[in-house]
């Protein structure tokens, strides 16, 4: 469900890795960098070759990069990341910000317009680099991650610990990794085929139930959480918060889009979730 990347100056991300990011998140790409005390944003790439030809000109600079999968809003340049908070500060987002977004504008766009721009207008750019404000934003965005970059080349990653550093580059989730090669002859006792009626038998390692934190999924049948008593319907979209391999379950968050509050489900069987992040 999108990937946000913070690449320090001098670090090089391979073309193969960027292609994997684009393949898993194909609804628009963009990046930004600072040069001569100006913030430059390049976005609206819906073809990897076009993106890479432009990006490689600046690949030695500190760059903030984004590849999108649509949740809210249209698939168009306006909803592509990065976004300007103002002329000297921009950001990218990975996740779902509950209570924002619709058919036209993404949740990120509305969060920027309704929260970030007003905050910075009153308290200045540095407010988004201070711990008290960072803590408030973290409480608002839940498991989402934000990466800010200003024209002076300062950056701030909100919810940094929910992402991962690899070879000196920060990624908001694991969709930069090569797609596993599915071996239909390999069986795993902790995984179950979602279509199998024999639930007590180990079955094929299946791409539809191989999930990682940050993946965007759909329920394939109705489900009621025993702990919270929350009910979820077939087709409800959720974000994976934690995966329990030994029990073949996971914890998820659902943005229902109505009351502005997320719902949570715990120990959801992997076999009833369809992973939308795999093409």
CA proximity to 146, closest of 100, 179, 186, 184: 100
Give the model's pLDDT for residue 127: 92
- List, for residues 257-268, the tens digit of each pLDDT value: 545 567 888 889
Helices and strands in the chain: count of H runs, count of E runs = 5, 19
**Between 155 and 235, where is the model more confident?**
155
**With respect to CATH, is domain 3-171 assigned 3.60.20.10?**
yes
Across the strands, what pairs with 39? 34
Judging by beta carbons within 10 Å of its beta carbon (0-12, 13-18, 19+), is residue 5 exposed, middle or buried?
buried
Cα atoms in the 13 Å half-sphere on the side-chain side of 250: 27
Tokens coding 192: 């179950």
What predicted TM-score, i.e. pTM, was given to this entire model?
0.72
Under 8 Å between Cβ of 7 and 163: no
* Pairing state between β 223-224 and 231-232: antiparallel
Query: How does the average pLDDT of the chain come out, rounded?
Result: 84
Query: Which residues, 6 or more positions from 86, have their beta carbon under 8 angstroms from its beta carbon?
Result: 117, 120, 121, 125
* pLDDT surpasses 70 at 1: no
So where are the chain's domains?
A: 3-171, 187-275
Give the model's pLDDT for residue 30: 98
For 255-268, letters b (16+ CB in 10 Å) and e give: beeeeeebbbbbeb
Task: Please tell me the distance from the alpha carbon of residue 37 to that of residue 263, in angstroms, as a whole number.
Answer: 43
CA angle at residue 221 from 220 to 222, to 5 degrees? 140
- List, for residues 139-180, the tens digit of each pLDDT value: 888 888 999 999 999 999 999 998 899 999 999 988 898 765
State how far the alpha carbon of 24 is from the alpha carbons of 6, 68, 188, 199, in Å.
18, 9, 24, 30
Could you please report the per-residue DSSP string of 139-183?
A: HHHTT-EEEEEETTS-EEEETGGGSEEETTEEESSSTTSPPPPP-
- List, for residues 191-234, the tens digit of each pLDDT value: 334 334 444 444 334 444 567 777 778 888 999 988 778 889 88
CATH number of 187-275: 2.30.30.40
Q: How confident is the model at residue 183 (pLDDT cuts 50, 70, 90)?
A: very low
* pLDDT surpasses 70 at 187: no
Check for a shared fold between 3-171 and 187-275.
no
CA proximity to 173, closest of 165, 181, 184: 165
Tokens coding 71: 């949740």
93-110 mean pLDDT: 89
**Between 256 and 150, where is the model more confident?**
150
């Amino acid at each position: 469900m999108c990937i946000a990347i913070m690449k320090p100056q001098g670090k090089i991300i391979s073309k193969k890795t960027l292609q994997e990011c684009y393949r898993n998140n194909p609804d628009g790409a963009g990046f930004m960098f600072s040069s001569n005390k100006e913030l430059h944003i390049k976005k609206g790439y819906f073809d990897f070759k076009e993106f890479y030809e432009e990006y490689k000109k600046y690949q030695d600079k500190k760059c903030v990069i984004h590849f999108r999968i649509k949740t809210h809003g249209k698939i168009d340049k306006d909803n592509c990341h990065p976004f300007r908070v103002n002329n000297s500060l921009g950001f990218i987002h990975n996740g779902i910000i509950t209570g924002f977004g619709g058919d036209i504008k993404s949740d990120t766009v509305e969060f920027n317009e309704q929260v970030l721009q007003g905050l910075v207008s009153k308290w200045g750019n540095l407010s988004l680099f201070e711990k008290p404000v960072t803590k408030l934003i973290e409480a608002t965005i839940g498991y989402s991650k934000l990466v800010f970059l200003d024209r002076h080349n300062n950056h701030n990653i909100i919810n940094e610990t929910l992402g991962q550093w690899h070879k000196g580059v920060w990624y908001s989730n694991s969709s930069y990794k090569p797609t596993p090669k599915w071996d239909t002859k390999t069986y795993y006792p902790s995984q179950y085929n979602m279509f199998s009626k024999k639930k007590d038998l180990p079955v094929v390692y299946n791409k539809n139930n191989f999930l990682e934190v940050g993946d965007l999924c759909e329920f394939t049948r109705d489900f009621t959480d025993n702990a919270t008593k929350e009910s979820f319907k077939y087709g409800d979209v959720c974000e994976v918060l934690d995966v329990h391999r030994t029990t073949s379950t996971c914890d998820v968050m659902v943005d229902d889009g109505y009351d502005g509050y997320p719902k949570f489900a715990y120990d959801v069987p992997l076999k009833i979730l369809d992973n939308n992040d795999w093409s």
